[in-house]
Structure 1
Amino acid sequence: MDAARAVDDTVVVTRGGVVRGRDDGRAISWKGIRYARPPVGALRWRAPVEAEPWAQPLDAVTFGAASPQRPNPAVPLGPDTVMDEDCLFLNVWRPAAPAEDARPVMVWIHGGAYTFGSASQPLFNGTTLVADGDVVLVTINYRTGALGFLDLTGHATPQQPFDSNLALRDVLLALAWVRDNIAAFGGDPERVTVFGESAGGGILTALLATDAASGLFHRAIIESSPATSMYGTDRSRTVADRFLAAAGVSTDEVDRLRTLNVEAIVDAAMTVYADIPSEFPGTLAFAPVIDGELLREAPITALRNGRGLPVPLLIGTNKDEATLFKFMKSPLMPIKGEAIDTMFENMRADNPGLEAPTREQVLDAYETVRHRTLGLGIATDIGFRMPTVWLAEGHSRVAPTYLYRFDFTTPMLKLIGIGAAHATELPYVWGNLTSAPKDPTFKLGGYRAGVEVSKRIRARWTGFAHGGEPDAPGSPWPAFDEGSRATLTVGRADRVVDDLDRELRGGWGDRVLAFR
């Protein structure tokens, strides 16, 4: 069945079948649309397969299941969330107001350390974003943790084949669904902007360096990408071996993996999730793999050298990224001195022949930073800021690129030492400033200023999706180039600063530093 016009405001004919949504007065939403067959049984750890058509109209009014994961207070899924390995669903929002022309499309890729999160998180309710921004929005689930990022290809046999980069393949299939179906929802398949944060930003960083993604999106917005946290097959084989040991599966009985209880998979994955960064500071257990097939080279290398897909890019980080990881006692970021020293040693070993900066050179960039926050600054910059700067430098040579740093915080977040931490920009991007009932963000004030920040940042994000420059009323944002290095700082008042990262670049240098 070909994509066709909407039968009425809430009923849409897709290639797979009819879907019936819900109109809340500001936006119409369709939730829980299957884009792939259940990745279970023989399809566990295999590339996703396009969903089969359905015969009866689908009441698309509830979210599909989230990928199985442990509860994490930093990534609240919502009280009614169901978890299931059968999780490859997507959701669509569009403004309730009619439009004569097709609207631009924004496709959201959620974050969560490649291990947590879902498209159905309350924070990602799309009503405000689409109603005020006049866009069609798609939010997608992908497989997380070991189910989406464990690379078992080194243990494959003719009888037990495995595929790599499963979550990336999930996203690619979802983007193909958007290309084939979004016109029926009033979206323009020739104006698709992908946007994502943290792990979602990392996935998009990988897709920018992936030939298979060519033509599936036309602009990209990347927030707080761990752009250098992608590794080769030697490291992924180490993770796979650790996972098998944690799951109690020997290397000569990989056939058991197809029938292993999913709770046992999540448990083993969480063991490896904590152990790998503790033993190898600065690295992640689960992340995209440079497999020589889907990812032929490290994305940071491809993008730094101008070999990424030449689409306009909006990219940036938050000023105090690492404070969230310290606050949550997360093992993911090397914050203490011993861990940072080990990270430097491992990085030098992984970059033989590269004139990596010495520890003393790097510390010179933090001479004005108080000692107790030194580790937080180093972790923020090697994990997020410097990879983003390196990436922006390279991509600006092939497509318009806009670099930002999100600095806005509230009195309460500043008081408890979080500041503009990792993910704190998300409520402002979505216009959902009070989506969590116990959110302490505005307990000491700052809400009125936050509303204005949200209006400006949403105007920039959606204006960019419409095909323009990411300007806000009275606040233009010039493109980044290696001459002026114009960078937008988002605060109570937005400012454009030339070469905001000059001191950091002096300390870290202009050579990409990454683990292999």
Structure 2
Amino acid sequence: MSTQFETEPSSDVDGAEPVAQTAHGRVRGRWNGQVATWRSIPYAAAPAGPNRFRPPRSPQSWEGIRDCVTFGDIAPQTMGNMVPVDSDLRMGEDCLWLNVWAPRRAIETREPRPVMVWLHGGAYCLGTAAQGIYDGRKLVEAGDVVIVGVNYRLGALGFLDLSSLSDDFTPNLGLLDQIAALEWVRDNIAAFGGDPGNVTVFGESSGAGCVTALLTSPRSAGLFHRAIAESPPATTVFGQERAAGVAQRFLELLELPAARAIELLECPLDRIVSAAGVLLDEVPLKEPGRLAAAPVVDGDLIPSYPIDQFQRGRSHRVPLIIGTNKDEASLFRVFRSPIMPVTPDAVNVMLRDVAANHPELSHERIAEITSAYPDLDKTRGALAMSTDAAFRMPAHWVSDAHATHSPTWMYRFDQATPMLKAARVGAGHATELPYVFGNFGTFNHDPTFWLGGRKVATEVSGRMMRRWLAFATHGVPAAIDGSKHWPPYHPATRTTLLIDAIDRVVDNPDREQHTAWGEQAVGFS
């Protein structure tokens, strides 16, 4: 984390880099055209030593002006090719920071602008807010909003529940970090031109899973006013009994008896990261469809399974955009990632595990689900089943429930460049991200355009950005640009926007899957 300070304050706007006053001290960013950017502003103290597995604490205040122009530590993690991270970034425990992008006009006029808070994905164990794909500048330029990107604890340090070992360990630390960041936004974002009364939380993959969890957490009530969940694994939340078993296995990998679990507080980071890397691969290989690290029902932050909370009408009363990508599982096949089952054998193991976890499910019900996938013995059928089990159906179960009391919009992202189609990736997991942020690579550094398609992709991106921005500003994704009207989602019609080269609105595009899976949510406990 940068710790350079000035003793003399500088001008906030004219003739100087942008400076904002936070509750803990002044922070200086940089101008990039008409957008001010701050990197790695601390929203909490470094969770190290005795606080390694504890809830986030307020950062120490500082004198003078803190330079926030370079990225600080990213959350400790096992690097992989699924989530590209700049090699210049370093891992460390001083990783509870956020980035802010704000329009010059909002800073100069003090006219508060809508705020969008981004939670990155990465299977609860990978990624960082420092990834270039999440740069918020183009969204700010397109929508006159303030963008905040949140860095939070991951893997063993953020989403592995070790509370069964000792009172020194707190569950759901990554979620607690995100809540602390949202509280920071509430208390400080006005200094950056943002409106604390108009906050949209949005995320993708596990970041979207955090969004659906926060939508059902009493602790997050009032901290955001709209939500966007892109490909949320909404049923990937586990019970304490299973969490205790995973915690025990983590200790075994570290060759620590349970009686010495307290030593984790001083264990070298590289040992923790190494053991977590083994665990994070081992669990989905042994139990396809499961993750080692994920949110856990703790009876407090997460009172019960979020999908149950949704279906009981207990989600926060805020407008919601939610959706999935047409070919979610394809990317996991390409990268040979164990995170999702993508072979017929692995999918069959997953189905047996689902049946074992849900004794109330009859053999007839399981048979009905599998009947919707006649080519389940082929890779294509396995990918479709995996997509629906992990993402498509959970998103629909959330939508069906949330739409009974709050405005809800459902989308399916179908857009794919010619290269992605040729590579049999299609609209794979996370492929909507450059469209949402407007951050496509250059020709030499973006292989997705090697067979063309940039013009169409740019047009699709413009429409998506305008819809997301209109939603953040007005609570309705109605882009005033002649785009196709996007009607709200209702359980009776399941009206869905299919985002492609030409957008279409279709009622219940996944009717066969709905019929097969039914309305009772199926997940892992």
TM range (shorter): over 0.9
Name the CA shift for 1:291/1:100 in 2 (closer, same or farther; >3 Å).
closer
TM-fit CA distance, 1:364? 2.9
TM-fit CA distance, 1:74? 2.1
Q: 2:403: which partner in 1? A: 396
**Which AA in structure 1 matches 2:12?**
V
**Which AA in structure 2 matches 1:384?**
F
The 5-angstrom pairing of residues 200-239 of structure 1 reads 200-239=207-246
Of residues 38, 43, 46 in structure 1, which corresponds to 2:46? 38
TM-score by length of 2: 0.94
**Which AA in structure 2 matches 1:493?**
I
TM-fit CA distance, 1:338? 2.1
Query: What whole-Å deviation, never above 9, does each CA across 1:68-113 have from its counterpart, x for those lacking one?
Result: 1122222112242121111001110012335562100000000001
Q: SS where residue 97 of structure 1 aligns?
A: helix
Identity %: 46
**Which AA in structure 1 matches 2:418?**
P
Matched, 1:178 2:188: no
Q: 1:334: which partner in 2? A: 341
Q: 2:524: which partner in 1? A: 515
Q: SS where residue 173 of structure 1 aligns?
A: helix
Of residues 127, 137, 140 in structure 1, which corresponds to 2:150? 140
**Structure 1 contact 123–435 (Cα < 8 Å) conserved:** no
* Partner Cα distance (2:131, 2:276) in 1: 22
Query: What whole-Å deviation, never above 9, does each CA across 1:118-143 have from its counterpart, x for those lacking one?
Result: 00101111110111111001001000
Of residues 501, 505, 511 in structure 2, which corresponds to 1:502? 511
Q: Provide structure 1 residue ranges, at least 5 long, that are not aligned to the other structure.
A: 1-5
Name the CA shift for 1:344/1:372 in 2 (closer, same or farther; >3 Å).
closer
TM-score by length of 1: 0.96
TM-fit CA distance, 1:362? 2.1
Matched, 1:489 2:489: no
Name the CA shift for 1:372/1:340 in 2 (closer, same or farther; >3 Å).
closer
* Partner Cα distance (1:400, 1:132) in 2: 24
* Partner Cα distance (2:349, 2:476) in 1: 42
* Partner Cα distance (2:441, 2:398) in 1: 33
Of residues 17, 26, 41 in structure 1, which corresponds to 2:34? 26
Q: 2:117: which partner in 1? A: 107
- Number of matched pairs: 508
Q: Which moves more between the two structures, 481-490 or 447-456? A: 481-490
Q: SS where residue 507 of structure 1 aligns?
A: helix
TM-fit CA distance, 1:367? 4.0
TM-fit CA distance, 1:370? 9.3
* Partner Cα distance (1:363, 1:306) in 2: 29
TM-fit CA distance, 1:369? 8.5
Of residues 465, 474, 496 in structure 2, which corresponds to 1:467? 474
Query: What whole-Å deviation, never above 9, does each CA across 1:43-85 have from its counterpart, x for those lacking one?
Result: 0111110112111201111112110112222211224212111
* Partner Cα distance (2:504, 2:411) in 1: 10
TM-fit CA distance, 1:435? 6.4
Q: Provide structure 2 residue ranges, at least 5 long, that are not aligned to the other structure.
A: 1-10
Q: 1:418: which partner in 2? A: 425
Q: 1:441: which partner in 2? A: 448
Q: SS where residue 253 of structure 1 aligns?
A: helix
Q: 1:155: which partner in 2? A: 165
**Structure 2 contact 44–97 (Cα < 8 Å) conserved:** yes
TM-fit CA distance, 1:467? 1.6
Of residues 52, 70, 74 in structure 2, which corresponds to 1:66? 74
Q: 2:8: which partner in 1? A: none
Query: What whole-Å deviation, never above 9, does each CA across 1:451-493 have from its counterpart, x for those lacking one?
Result: 0000000001010000242123221111001122110000001
TM-fit CA distance, 1:438? 3.2
Name the CA shift for 1:356/1:514 in 2 (closer, same or farther; >3 Å).
farther
Of residues 128, 139, 153 in structure 2, which corresponds to 1:118? 128
Q: 2:174: which partner in 1? A: 167
Name the CA shift for 1:355/1:304 in 2 (closer, same or farther; >3 Å).
farther
Of residues 299, 311, 316 in structure 2, which corresponds to 1:304? 311
Name the CA shift for 1:438/1:8 in 2 (closer, same or farther; >3 Å).
closer
Query: What whole-Å deviation, never above 9, does each CA across 1:136-190 have from its counterpart, x for those lacking one?
Result: 0100100011010111111105xxx111100000000000000000001110000
Q: SS where residue 197 of structure 2 aligns?
A: strand
Name the CA shift for 1:375/1:275 in 2 (closer, same or farther; >3 Å).
same
**Structure 1 contact 323–418 (Cα < 8 Å) conserved:** yes
Q: Which moves more between the two structures, 303-312 or 439-448? A: 303-312
Q: SS where residue 127 of structure 2 aligns?
A: coil
* Partner Cα distance (1:368, 1:424) in 2: 25
Q: 1:3: which partner in 2? A: none
**Which AA in structure 2 matches 1:23?**
W
* Partner Cα distance (2:67, 2:297) in 1: 40
**Structure 1 contact 469–477 (Cα < 8 Å) conserved:** no
The 5-angstrom pairing of residues 43-54 of structure 1 reads 43-54=51-62
**Which AA in structure 2 matches 1:342?**
V
TM-fit CA distance, 1:357? 5.7
